[in-house]
Amino acid sequence: MIDSTLEYLRGGVSSEAARPIDLASVIETIVDEHLDQGHKISLTGLNAAPILGRVLPLKRAFSNIIGNAVKYGASADVAITEANGQVVVTVEDQGPGIPPAEIGRVFHPFVRLEKSRGRETGGSGLGLTIAQAVAQSHEGSIALENRSEGGLRVIVSLPRLDRPTRSDAPRL
């Protein structure tokens, strides 16, 4: 809990310098860790997803997101795609989802929708707060939506490393 609180207080910013990284490799490492633990998880999509980022905060953010899917939804389906100059990571689960009125609230610090503090679920209520701060510190975004077939969908978009900049964009 102390590590989570410190990460929250840093606002997703770390002393690690941003550098070109392959987000697909970071995600694959997290998925492999869950597979090694016997969790039901899949990974599809791009084999390479270059971004400018900081590995440790990104690994923490995606570990929180994927860990929540496995914890509350019993499985996770992770997909890496790209759209409009963004690397898009989508994590879906088969859990109960989040009541629509609570979706914005789960990004607030120390908010836990599951009321018990048992060992089985644990947590500090900072996972999604940290994930949002990390995404924003990388000029990205995170969104949550309930799936029509049940479960939650988490969508994280981060700028692709080689996307055109404003000065590279075609002029009309």
Core vs surface per residue 109-121: b (16+ CB within 10 A) or e: eeeeeeeeeeeee
- In total, the chain counts a number of residues equal to 172
Higher-scoring residue by pLDDT: 168, 15: 15
Distance CA 63, CA 69 (A): 10
Distance CA 156, CA 64 (A): 12
Task: Give the residue extent of every domain in the chain.
Answer: 2-159
Per-range mean pLDDT, top range of 26-30, 111-115, 125-129: 26-30
What is the pLDDT confidence band of residue 14, given thresholds at 50, 70 and 90? low
Mean of the per-residue pLDDT values of the chain: 81
What number of other Cβ atoms are within 10 A of residue 77's Cβ?
A: 18
Asked whether 74 and 109 are in contact (CB, 8 A), the reply is no
Question: To 5 degrees, how large is the angle CA 161–CA 82–CA 170?
Answer: 65
Distance CA 98, CA 151 (A): 8
- Residue 6 CB-density burial (10 A; 0-12 exposed, 13-18 middle, 19+ buried): exposed
Q: State pLDDT tens for residues 33-70.
A: 999 999 999 999 999 999 999 999 999 999 999 999 99
pTM for the structure as a whole = 0.80
Q: Which residues are within 8 A (CB) of 151 and not within 5 positions of it... i.e. 6 or more apart?
A: 73, 92, 93, 94, 95, 96, 97
Asked whether 165 and 85 are in contact (CB, 8 A), the reply is no
CATH top-level class of 2-159: alpha beta
Asked whether 160 and 85 are in contact (CB, 8 A), the reply is yes
pLDDT at 100: 86
Asked whether 171 and 114 are in contact (CB, 8 A), the reply is no
Least confident of 59-63, 101-105, 165-169: 165-169
Residue whose pair of structure tokens reads 């080689």 in the numeric block: 162
Higher-scoring residue by pLDDT: 9, 15: 15
